[in-house]
Amino acid sequence: MSDETTTVELSKTEKAVVDAIEKLTVIEANNVAKYFEEEYGITAAAAPAAGGAAPAAEEEEAKSSYNVVLKDCGAQKIAVIKVVREVTGLGLGEAKALAEGGGTLKENAKPEEAEEIKKKFEDAGATVELQ
């Protein structure tokens, strides 16, 4: 694999889209990603990484980080909202929306951190998945 990096040149329109996306909150960006996934079948996993995609078995063995995803907040919604705020630093409204709608709580967390976050949410009654 080469250490070279490729620079992508963006048109004015593409740059405007990127600028708008960068200003979104985590929840808004998550909603946009879900829209593209549902509407067009586009996911981050569908795009091959530079140099080709690694086989799934190798990727699982060598996984050094996880995305922590909230699947369901359960019956203790207030407790889960408190943990969402603690882990993400979101405001009350955004934390409530994330708790109710689910979504990514933390990206690229180290395995130990991901397990710690998962335990906090499970203790609060939520269902969390490590991806």
Mean pLDDT over residues 108-112, rounded?
90
Confidence of residue 39 (pLDDT cuts 50, 70, 90): confident
pLDDT band at 121; cut points 50, 70, 90: very high
Q: Which residue in 77, 79, 84 sits closest to 30, CA to CA? A: 84
111 or 7: whose pLDDT is higher? 111
Q: Give the distance, in angstroms, between the CA of residue 13 and the centroid of all CA atoms in the same chain.
A: 26
Name which residue leads in pLDDT, 45 or 39: 39
Please give the helix or strand (H or E) that residue 56 lies within, else none.
helix 56-61
Fold of 63-131: Ribosomal Protein L30; Chain: A, (3.30.1390)
Q: Write down the domain spans for the chain.
A: 11-52, 63-131
Q: Phi and psi for 108 in degrees, rounded to 5? A: 55, 45
Check pLDDT > 70 for residue 106: yes
CA distance linking residue 107 with residue 72, whole number of Å: 18
Q: How confident is the model at residue 127 (pLDDT cuts 50, 70, 90)?
A: very high
* Percent with pLDDT over 90 in the chain: 33
